[in-house]
Amino acid sequence: MTPAAAARQPVTEAADATAALTAAREQGSPVKIASRTTETDEVSANPDGTVTWRQSAQPERVLRDGTWRPVDLTLRRQGDGSVAPVAAAVDLRLSGGGAESPLVVAAREGYEVGLRWPGTLPEPALDGASARYAEVLPGVDLVVTASVLGFHQVLVVKTPEAARNPLLDTIAFGSHLRNASVREGFVDGEPGLQVRDAAGRTVFRGDASRMWDSTASGDHDGLAVAPGEGSRRASMEVDVSADTVAVRPDEAFLADPATTYPVYIDPEYHWAGLKNHHAVVQSGHPDARNYDVNAGDLIDLKAGRATDGSGTSRSYMEMNLTRVRGTVIKGATLRTRVRHSHSCSGGPTDVWLVGGIHAGTTWRNQPGWTRWLASNNRSNNAAYCPSDGGADFDVTGAVRDGAAGHWASVTLMLKAANESDTASWRRFDLNPVLEVRYNSTPNVPAEMSIEGGLFGCTIGPNRPVIATKTPRLRARLSDPDGGMMDAGFRVLRGPSGGATWDGNNKYTGNVPSGSFAEVRVDPGVVPADGIYTWWLWSGDYELVSYSPTCEFEVDTVVPGEPAVSSADFPPGVAVGGPGVTGAFTVKANGTADVHHYLYTVTEKEVGVPATRVDPPALGGDATIRFTPSVSGPQTLWVRSVDRAGNLSPVVGYRFEVEDREPLTPGLVGHWRFNGDGTDAGPGGRHLTAVAAPGFVTGYEDRATQLDGATQWLEQAAAVDTTKTFAVSAWARADRTGRWSSVVSQDGNRTSGFQLQTTVDGKWSFSMFGADADGGGQPHSRAVSTTPVQPGVWTHLTGVYDAGEGTLRLYVDGRRESQVGHRSNWNAAGSFLVGAAQWNGRRQDQFQGAVDEVRVYQRALVPAEAALLANQVVPRARYALDEGSGTSTVDSVTGARATLHGEVSWVTEPGSTAVRLQLAPLSSRAYVSGPRPAMRTDKSYTVSAWVRADTLDQHSRAVVSLGDPKFSPFLLGYRGETGKWGMLVSCSPTQACGTPAVSPAAATTGTWVHLTGVYDTALREARLYVNGELAGKTAGVTGWNGSGDLLIGRGIWTGVPSDDWYGSVDDVRLFSGVPTADGIRELARR
């Protein structure tokens, strides 16, 4: 295809409404709006600027991995052993057999409902959408069939002998429920089973009251879902408890000689949250509740009188109208397809506008009929008059009434015009489509503001005051249909109600819906200081809407300089320290109309104030609370701002923050848990154990192990939670999916703070608005982006900065979240490790291990949070000083590493090392040892002395860890640069990573000390040569490898690589990152 031909290809789909409408106008054909596609809806933009909405009654597609896929209910076995459909509108999981998991669970939007079989299930036989569990009782199979919105489950009682089993007298299915409860009977007018959320909204509907036999005529395949035409039916008693749904089959029905076996006993559930519904009512089954039933003989819609026992049928369709409420309807069509007609010349089928339907709709309980809308007499009889069956009905009047009346839905009825004529009987597809072409009146302009949003729309005494006579006016234009819009802005002299207009109209066009239209008032429109009114109209080039009026006032006086003082940080004296909050008082200094102040703190001789603080009243004093993160001289830069935004000159207040040792000042308590709850801090706050928690191997040395139920440790209140404080801990969660607290402090009714896991598997540092049941408002939570990794040690630091009014959460030394919070109450109760308080009760117990808990009555600054997370713990050291043999000992753990291939011992004055020599592939030299107890997705350090024999264009690994495809790191020589390097690979499955390399070229024949660091707090890889920083790479994210320790080689693309030729000595590996001095110490020989 030539470029010109490709350019002429019409656009069929665009990402949003604006792009679609633009393309439709340009090419003269409709364009689908991708962003508005749902399970049931497709929306297209038309060349004339209107929009067509195509809405199906039931889901036609489901979203999987960002792509819409057709519904496919074929059951497949999953990797975890369960069974699931390929693509359904609910998340459906069936048992693969056994007794552990539920028989079937349907889930959607966080709600789950399902059934458990009271016994062990065999492996199911799969057939399309059905799974058959054979002989769950003698002569009884259990069949689960997937539907678009849920499932059908039936017991198939195959013989009268099987029916006499006393276990069938009462069948108690276990209930599986999540975020919902189940009720049975007529509840709020709804029959059957209702699964409701905490607010009482029905989220799933079900039925457990039906049983039927196999008397039905025709194909019996659908009987495992619903009774067929002619099936004998009976009702069952149903009892619902918190844990079970129990049914009592009709014994007389089972024993009746007229009953044809197999007999089917049916509990089922379906999602109730869709906006569209249907019901087929039949005179032959006057009490049948067929609301949203779509199986058995109800796999289609029906209209007219049939020749079987079903009698006269009518079909009701409730279609959602929320998208078109308040719009201008250009046309509406109900598109159906006749699947089968009794005759080729039968009378027409009518469509009527009717009242609403519900779960209790039956032949005896039908809605009222409002008016006839349209007729169609399309025939489709495969034997005599086959056709595509397309049958359209013009329902414009009904949809137009609904749009004008803001109806939530419209209900339409299909019925035969002559219900006594069997020739008029038709069956229609179960999934009719309502197609509506419409145009929406533009929304009223919103977010009206002046100067780019600085001042909102107000009238009266609180109108904004500005300092320019040519302000920028803007408003957000939007049209429910999207597309391009235009607008006209008008400015009037005087306040609203008495303003005069001189005819000015600042026009702008081609504004995408949802965007701001903004204009600058022309010079002369505002001739002088005073009060003015403005408003605008907005349109879609056909319809127009009008905004409310707004006012502004012009004022041009500049405020004077403010005055600054501080008792906490007086000038000329080094006081406080990093993390210590101080207060600064700012005065208007004689300027009466100061509205607020701007400030910043810098270590430089200049600063641009940007952070705002408000006085309690116009022209009043304000207090700035600031928590320094570094020591040394600093300057608070302040300026005043009046109501109009005029700025005063900037004033600088110089103060000095005292230099203190990190992690020591402000320490209230430090618990190492090396066998007990002793406080290693200055306060002697020893923890008291509750229910004898144990002690296990910790992140370093020992840690306390908690059972998540009865065990925790406690002490009197450690911090004043109205003031700045910080808390940190190493935590290893053994369980997720619930609230559990690592560290907290009690109030009277609720915790003052909680360092915790969340119910959705994240870390959180939380504080609450009130010491009351439920915690009052707000619930402020700094929640991690990193999920909790069960069984993995993770360092957590929570900081409440009273000066800044924020909560900060650091995970493994990296700040992951910050939210605003002002604490106005002090939690004076117990300080807890492993539990929390809620509604006056002890709960949220932590299941796992906790180590190295610290608490401070000051903030921990970012460098300190990183320092704690980078706590250095030796994990392995191979001194390589044996001098002989084929193994070497790790002095940290006692493990042994094995020498392979052409490895020899080198003894020199003062040292012994190994030398790895060039050899054939089968005898390549390397050393392998057990993997050290360190994770390479956390901070770690690796070091070694090296002396290269040969360096060329190939990379050489001195130390690495193995993995199936790629080593997580390679410390050694980088052939592509000819320099020493530390490479942290970026993926276990891809060849990627940027090494930190030395500035100078690597050399042979000389002993060199290499240290490689991965710092997860900084997302940084660093290389040290002979104890000094030689190179670093930012933006690095490590991952956790699984292989052994390797000395002298790595793994790349799944094979051994980067063989080292030369000597290696004193290999060390650490969790964490030593200080610069610590790394220099490693390089001492």
Express each pLDDT in 525-564 by its tens digit. Answer: 999 989 999 999 999 988 899 999 999 999 888 999 999 9
Burial of 1029 from C-beta contacts in 10 A (0-12 / 13-18 / 19+): middle
- Structural domains in the chain plus CATH codes: 1-35 (no CATH), 71-273 (no CATH), 279-440 (2.60.120), 446-554 (2.60.40), 563-657 (2.60.40.10), 667-869 (2.60.120.200), 873-1082 (2.60.120.200)
Express each pLDDT in 191-238 by its tens digit. Answer: 678 899 999 998 998 888 889 998 865 555 667 776 766 678 888 999
Q: How distant is the alpha carbon of residue 228 from its chain centre?
A: 44
* Nearest-angstrom CA–CA distance, 479 and 874: 63
pLDDT > 60? residue 863: yes
- For residue 4, the model assigns a pLDDT of 46
Report yes or no: 996 and 979 within 8 Å, Cβ to Cβ: no
Q: How far is CA 478 from CA 24, 51, 517, in A?
A: 19, 15, 10
Residue 691 structure tokens: 């229910």
DSSP code, position 291:
B
Residue 167 structure tokens: 């276990």
pLDDT > 50? residue 658: yes
Q: How far is CA 475 from CA 346, 456, 497, 544, 645, in A?
A: 59, 10, 21, 15, 21
- In residues, how long is the chain? 1085
Residue 221: strand, helix, or coil: helix
- For residue 1, the model assigns a pLDDT of 40
Shortest CA distance to 1050 belongs to which of 939, 968, 929?
A: 968
What average pLDDT does this structure show over 909-927? 88
pLDDT > 60? residue 188: no
Q: How far is CA 504 from CA 517, 522, 531, in A?
A: 17, 9, 17
How does the average pLDDT of the chain come out, rounded? 93
- For residue 862, the model assigns a pLDDT of 94
pLDDT > 50? residue 5: no
Burial of 1034 from C-beta contacts in 10 A (0-12 / 13-18 / 19+): exposed
Report the 10 Å Cβ neighbour count for 105: 23
Report yes or no: 615 and 588 within 8 Å, Cβ to Cβ: yes
pLDDT > 90? residue 253: yes
Q: What's the pTM value of the predicted model, to 2 decimals?
A: 0.54
